[in-house]
Structure 1
Amino acid sequence: MHKYSTMTLFLCLSFCLLASLHSAAAELQTLHHQLGGESLSLLVVGDWGRRGAYNQSRVALQMGKIAEKLDIDFIISTGDNFYDDGLTDENDPAFEESFSNIYTARSLQKPWYTVLGNHDYRGNALAQLSPTLTHKDSRWFCQKSYILNAGFAEFFFVDTTPFQTKYFTHPKDHVYDWRGVLPRHKYISTLLKDLDVALRESTARWKIVVGHHTIKSAGHHGNTQELVSHLLPLLQANNVDFYVNGHDHCLEHIASSDSALQFFTSGGGSKAWKGDISWWDPVENKFYYDGQGFMSMQISPSEVDVVFYDVYGNVLHKWSTSDVLYNVM
């Protein structure tokens, strides 16, 4: 039995989806997720939408098994939801073929809180924000940027694609859907201002920021310099605990050497890049896996446990806030 009312959730999602189509000057919308217990459990997957190919279906199978075991509350998608060029419109069959028909396990019939990736912007970006998709599959929720309040944990979803200059100056053969983004400088400055205010006003025990692009990564794309310059200082100044992203098609955990901030990459939802890794200081790089898989987070008011799984459901890496506390003591 679901831990939420499907109709209530749908009405809430529809309201927020419509609100997301307002101008970039609007404040970040806040969505509330009511917990069914004293802790929170979720999965994180990114870079997945390939109609089941490149082991997407196998990852989905294992996600279903782990989700049942953990009795998850919801799933987070870190973007690049539909390859190669997003959705054409709200009626694009890729929505069913890459989402509804793939993540079919009963345990995965929970809300999917989603952000856009750069590949999603190559199509009709606004289609993924449309209430029409939520009509088709009530699990689906996507905005460009928003806040998810889950009591003692608060998630801040950030639209990172407009930060990257190369998408505007060197688009190659791709056409990006910048509706609602231009003028770019105003969009970014407004987003950063609203995020800063929201983070400062947050009273949650755990602050978790979710975006598509990497801030720190030893993978193919490496660090996103625009986010290092503009987003990272804001996260550090507001004592954010975790930054969760996709974009690099790998699984990765980097611990910051100058703050408590942890960087988690979960971009192994389908196609992975074997052997595509750069050297990184082993003091910071706690884990790197160049294959498919996903991540789980179990969160209580006092502790967070993170686990990475491969395409067979094997546990690859575990980390807990209690490890940090133990090492400090």
Structure 2
Amino acid sequence: MALNNKTTTILLVVYTVVATVNVVAELQRFDHRPTKADGSLDILVVGDWGRRGLYNQSDVAFQMGKMGEKMNVDFIVSTGDNFYDDGLTDDNDPLFVESFTKIYTAKSLQKQWYSVLGNHDYRGNVFAQLSPALKQRDSKWLCLRSFIVNSGIVEFFFVDTTPFQDKYFTEEDHDYDWRGILPREEYLSNVLKEVEMALEESSATWKIVIGHHTIFSAGHHGNTQELVDQLLPILEEKEVDLYINGHDHCLQQISSPNSQLQFLTSGGGSKAWRGDINQWNPNELKFYYDGQGFMTLRITEDEIDVAFYDVFGEILHEWSTSKYTLKDS
């Protein structure tokens, strides 16, 4: 069918609009407003957990349930590596129920879970974890590649960090599900543009970015240089307050020497790596624990309070910050 000039022009305009949308698409947003009278927000953070309750996963879940009830938590954040060793096979995989539904059974944990993908999740069927069918199986589940949770006083920017790391595209020991990622350079460029745009437009008092991989870490995996080079400059320029990750199976806090940014690791949801720690500037490494546990956040208009708990429910480390003063506990 021959096209006249008018039709060709219209099609060209439509194509240009679609191409532009693909390059800088707006991240999907979810509103999750505080429900407490004082406007505070209480959150549990756990990562690297899905092992059918093994490696103390069930014990960590039990303590999370107790703390969740005490705090009346608003929601739970998972920092990725949700199902070991190789993600889910499909959205009917029994591992979902065995490692999630049957483990996090406390009433206080039947709140919304916001999850990102880790490298182990990419070894399985990625679309399974992203599938709406999982929410039908367990209503508290939500996992996307990159997205935003808006809680008014704070916005959480979840970032898909696995495709940033070069080694996953060259190693031969594991297969990764890169559907939806290729061409990689275009995908990464889009993610960075989307995050930068969203941070720029945010009017929230607090900005918190969450990804699976470390930016800085004294743990087994150490720094993720690709994120240091590509993501960190955006976080610093846009004055992000916290970067929260998993990946290293530990609990950790590192302070940035260049900004107010804090790097918090909550990757102790199940298997931990005892004794696996590298030397780090003690002025920056505020806390490191090579065992299982989880993290809590309490956020108000004026202050963020962070606490790390071990598998026995004992507080290991506390830290607070405000927009006016900075104090360590």
- TM-score (structure 1 length as normaliser): 0.91
Code of the aligned partner of 1:96: V
Q: Which residues in structure 2 correspond to 1:104-123 (within 5 Å)? A: 104-123=105-124
Code of the aligned partner of 2:93: D
Cα distance in 1, alignment partners of residues 208 and 34 from structure 2: 17
In structure 1, the residue matched to 2:93 is 92
- Which stretches in structure 1 are left out of the alignment for 5+ residues? 1-21
Q: 1:221 to 1:64 in 2, by over 3 A?
A: same
Does the 8 A contact of 2:114 with 2:143 survive in 1?
yes
Code of the aligned partner of 1:92: D
TM-superposed CA distance for 1:35, in Å, is: 1.8
In structure 1, the residue matched to 2:61 is 60
Query: Which is higher, the Rg of structure 1 or of structure 2?
Result: 2
TM-superposed CA distance for 1:173, in Å, is: 2.2
Cα distance in 2, alignment partners of residues 326 and 226 from structure 1: 29
Q: Secondary structure at the match of 1:65?
A: helix
In structure 2, the residue matched to 1:174 is 174
Identity value in percent:
66
Q: Secondary structure at the match of 2:270?
A: coil
Q: Secondary structure at the match of 2:120?
A: helix
TM-superposed CA distance for 1:257, in Å, is: 1.0
In structure 2, the residue matched to 1:282 is 282
Q: 1:302 to 1:274 in 2, by over 3 A?
A: same
Q: 1:324 to 1:84 in 2, by over 3 A?
A: farther
Cα distance in 2, alignment partners of residues 34 and 166 from structure 1: 39
Q: Secondary structure at the match of 2:156?
A: strand
In structure 2, the residue matched to 1:9 is none
Does the 8 A contact of 1:212 with 1:245 survive in 2?
yes
Cα distance in 1, alignment partners of residues 315 and 158 from structure 2: 27
Code of the aligned partner of 2:140: R
In structure 1, the residue matched to 2:72 is 71
Q: 1:31 to 1:327 in 2, by over 3 A?
A: closer
Q: 1:268 to 1:323 in 2, by over 3 A?
A: farther
Code of the aligned partner of 2:278: S
Cα distance in 2, alignment partners of residues 295 and 266 from structure 1: 6
Q: 1:196 to 1:132 in 2, by over 3 A?
A: same
Q: Which residues in structure 2 correspond to 1:156-175 (within 5 Å)? A: 156-170=157-171, 172-175=172-175
Q: 1:93 to 1:23 in 2, by over 3 A?
A: farther
Q: 1:224 to 1:36 in 2, by over 3 A?
A: same
Matched, 1:32 2:69: no
In structure 2, the residue matched to 1:265 is 265
Cα distance in 2, alignment partners of residues 100 and 320 from structure 1: 32
Code of the aligned partner of 1:134: K
Cα distance in 1, alignment partners of residues 151 and 303 from structure 2: 15
Residue deviations 1:158-184, cap 9 Å, x none? Answer: 0000000000012x2211000100000
Q: 1:303 to 1:286 in 2, by over 3 A?
A: same
TM-superposed CA distance for 1:23, in Å, is: 6.6
TM-superposed CA distance for 1:191, in Å, is: 0.6
Q: Which moved more, 1:317-326 or 1:51-60?
A: 317-326
Q: Which consecutive aligned stretches of 4+ in structure 1 deviate over 4 angstroms post-superposition?
A: 22-25
Code of the aligned partner of 1:64: G
Matched, 1:225 2:225: yes
Q: 1:327 to 1:152 in 2, by over 3 A?
A: closer
Cα distance in 1, alignment partners of residues 224 and 188 from structure 2: 15
In structure 1, the residue matched to 2:8 is none
In structure 2, the residue matched to 1:189 is 189
TM-superposed CA distance for 1:204, in Å, is: 0.3
Does the 8 A contact of 1:23 with 1:180 survive in 2?
no
Q: Secondary structure at the match of 1:142?
A: coil
In structure 2, the residue matched to 1:141 is 142
Q: 1:323 to 1:185 in 2, by over 3 A?
A: closer
Q: 1:24 to 1:88 in 2, by over 3 A?
A: farther
TM-superposed CA distance for 1:311, in Å, is: 0.3
Residue deviations 1:42-97, cap 9 Å, x none? Answer: 00000000000000000000000000000000000000000000000000000000
Residue deviations 1:90-128, cap 9 Å, x none? Answer: 000000000000000000000000000000000001110
- TM-score (structure 2 length as normaliser): 0.91
- Which stretches in structure 2 are left out of the alignment for 5+ residues? 1-20
Code of the aligned partner of 1:142: C
